[in-house]
Amino acid sequence: MAKICLCLTGKTLEQNLEILEEYRGYIDMAELRVDCLDPDERFLIRSFPEKAGLPVILTIRRKADGGFFEDGEGSRVALLSKGIAFAEVDRRRNFAYIDIEEDLEVPGLEEVVRTFGTRIIRSYHNIEGTNDDIPGKLKKLLRVGDEIAKIAVTPHTMEDVVKVYRAARETRHTEKILLCMGHLGVNTRILAAKIGSYLCYCSASERTGLHAAAPGQLDPKELVNLYRFRGIGKTTRVFGLAGFPLKVTNSPHIFNTAFNHEKINAVYLPFPSDSLKSFFDLAEEIGLAGAAITIPYKEEVISLLKDSSAGVKAAGACNTIVPVKAEPAPERGTRDSRPGGWTGYNTDSAGFSGSLLSFIGKKHFHGLGITVLGAGGAAGAVVSEISRLRGKCLILNRNQARAKELAAPYKYKWGGLDGRGLDMMDRYSDIIVQTTPVGTVPDIEADPFDLYRFTGRETVMDLIYRPERTAFLKRAEKAGCKVLNGFDMLVRQATLQYQLFLSRDFPMELIPRLEKIVNQ
C-alpha cells in the first residue's frame, strides 16, 4: 500500500506542527519543506522529527526544481547537514528520509545518513515537461540498493501521462516514487498504489493558509475520504470520467460514496484528456473497467467504439463506455488480458427525460413546444428523447450549421441565438432546456441567451448543476418560471452508468446525502 505524505510548507516549525496535528489521522509521514521556512527557522530543523512523532522527509527544494530555495548550493548542503547532525540511536528522533537531487554530489553527507538509517530519496524533477525514457532515468538515479528513486514530471498532454503509466509497468519491480504534476497528473497521485509508487505527496487545504508544495497535490482528507486511497491496491477496479478541461465534476462523489457504502473494491476519478485517442491508450494501459464521457467527446467517441447501443445511435452521442470481454494475452509474460474494444451507451437520454417528466408531472412531451439551447452531445440526447416522447422542438445554437444538422433527422425547427431565433421561440416556449456549458464554474455569471425575456409561464431546465442556480436559471426564477437544474439528471444517469459498470442497482438511499455534498 502506498503511503500518504503531507508536505509541510509553513513559514515556521510551529505552524507546520499545527497543520500536522490536524491531518495526523490521515497521513503516514510528512515532508518538511525547509525551503519554505523563514530563514531564522531553518536553523531549528534538527528537533523537528521528534516533535512530529512520525517519519519525516528532509527536503530543501531549489527554485530550479519547483521549490523556493534561492541561496547557493553551499548554503543548502550546510542546512541539510544541520538537519542530520548529532544523529540519535533512537531513529524516531532523526529524519527518516532525506531528498537529494540527482545532480547534488555530497558523498560525505550520504555516508552519514546511511550510517544512522536515514534513507535517501534520489530525486529528479522536470517542471517543463516529460522525459521520453523514464525507465532509463529511474535506473540511472539509483546508486545504492537502499535508495528510493523519485521522478516527478509535468505533462502537457494525456499522451505524456500515458508515458508515465507505461514506465510504471516497465519498472514494476523497482521501488520508486513516480508521479505527474499538475491538473493532468492528479490521477497518477490517486493511483500511486496501482502504479507501484512508494508514496503520494499531499498538501493541506488552502483554508489553512499554506500553499501547495507542488501543482496537483490533493488534501489528505480528500484523498482518503473521497478517493478511498487506503483501499486502492493492485486488484482495485478503476472507473473514470474523460473530458476536457474537466476542472469541475461531482461524479467521483456519487460513485465513490456508493463503492464505499457497498464495500466494492473500486475507485472513480477524473481523467482530463486533451486527446480522446490518448485516453483510450491510457484506458488500455491501466485496464480501465469503464468510463463516463463528457464534453467535448460525446460525439467523437462513437468512431472509436466496437459497438454501441440503440440509445447512442438515436442521440448521435455516447456518454458511457464499458470494455468488451477481454481476450487472452497473445504471449506469456505480458499483461493478463487486453481489451477487446469498447461498447458505448447513452444514459443522458433517460436521465434527462426521467428528471424533467418527473418535475412537470407528465409521462410524455406530447402537445408541448420545447426550445433546446445548444447542439452538442448533451443536446443530442435531449432532442432524441423529446422526439421519442412526441414533443415539438426548436434547436438554437451559436453555430447554426450544427443546429441544422441536429434538427434534420427529426424535421425539427432550428436557428441561431439571435433575434430570428428569439422570434421563433414564441411557439416553443412551454419548456426551455439549456444544454451548453455556459454558466458553469468558473464563469458563473455567463448567460447563454440573454436576449430572451422570460414571461414566467415557462418551465426552464439547465443541465448544469454547479452552481446550483446558473445566471440563466436565476433570471428565469426571478420572472416566476419553474426551474430545474441538472443535479437530478446527473444522479439518474449516473445510477444507470452504475448498473452498466457493475451489473447491480445503485443504492438509492444515498441520494439525500449526495445532494448535500454537491450543494456544499
Alpha helices in 302-452 (DSSP H): 310-315, 348-360, 377-388, 400-407, 419-424
pLDDT of 327: 52
pLDDT at res. 340: 77
User: Does the CA dihedral 19-24-27-28 come out positive or negative?
Assistant: positive
Distance CA 280, CA 299 (A): 15
The pLDDT score that the predictor gives to residue 1 is 87
Mean local confidence (pLDDT), 242-249: 91
For the CA atoms of 149, 152, 157, 160, the dihedral, rounded to the nearest 10 degrees, stands at -10
State the span(s) of the chain assigned CATH 3.40.50.720. Answer: 360-485
Tell the burial category of 295 from Cβ atoms under 10 Å away from its Cβ (0-12, 13-18, 19+): middle
Residues belonging to the active site: 298
> Under CATH, which number does the domain 255-346+494-519 receive?
3.40.50.10860
Cell 493492485, residue located: 234
Read off the pLDDT of residues 351-390 as tens digits, 9 standing for 90 and up: 999 999 999 999 999 999 999 999 999 999 999 999 999 9
Kindly report, residue by residue over 309-340, the tens digit of the pLDDT: 999 999 999 999 999 975 544 443 333 344 57
Instruction: Tell me what pLDDT residue 325 has.
Output: 74
pLDDT at 338: 46
Work out the pLDDT band at 305, boundaries 50, 70, 90: very high
Name the pLDDT band for 86 (thresholds 50, 70, 90). Answer: confident
Which is more confident, 459 or 467? 459
Superfamily of the domain at 360-485 = NAD(P)-binding Rossmann-like Domain (3.40.50.720)
- Written as one letter, the residue type at 345 is Y
Query: Could you give the CA distance from residue 162 to residue 190 in angstroms, rounded to a whole number?
Result: 15
pLDDT at 339: 53
Kindly report, as residue ranges, where domains of CATH 3.40.50.10860 are found in the chain.
255-346+494-519
**Cell numbers linked to 387:** 422526439
**pLDDT for the residue 336:** 38
Taking residues 169-178, report their average pLDDT: 96
Boundaries of CATH 3.20.20.70 in the chain? 3-234
* Residues 103-143: tens digit of each pLDDT: 998 999 999 888 888 999 999 999 999 999 999 999 999 88
For the chain, the helix, strand and coil percentages under 3-state DSSP, each to the nearest 5: 40, 20, 40
pLDDT at 437 over 70: yes
Q: Which CATH class is domain 3-234?
A: alpha beta
pLDDT digits (tens, 9 = 90+) for 28-80: 999 999 999 999 999 999 999 999 999 999 999 999 999 999 999 999 999 99
Average predicted confidence (pLDDT) for the chain: 94
pLDDT of residue 326: 54
Q: What was the pLDDT predicted at 206?
A: 83
pLDDT of residue 330: 44
In a 10 Å sphere around its CB, with 0-12 CB exposed, 13-18 middle and 19+ buried, how is residue 474 labelled?
Answer: middle
- Summarize pLDDT for 152-166 with one digit per residue, the tens: 999 999 999 999 999
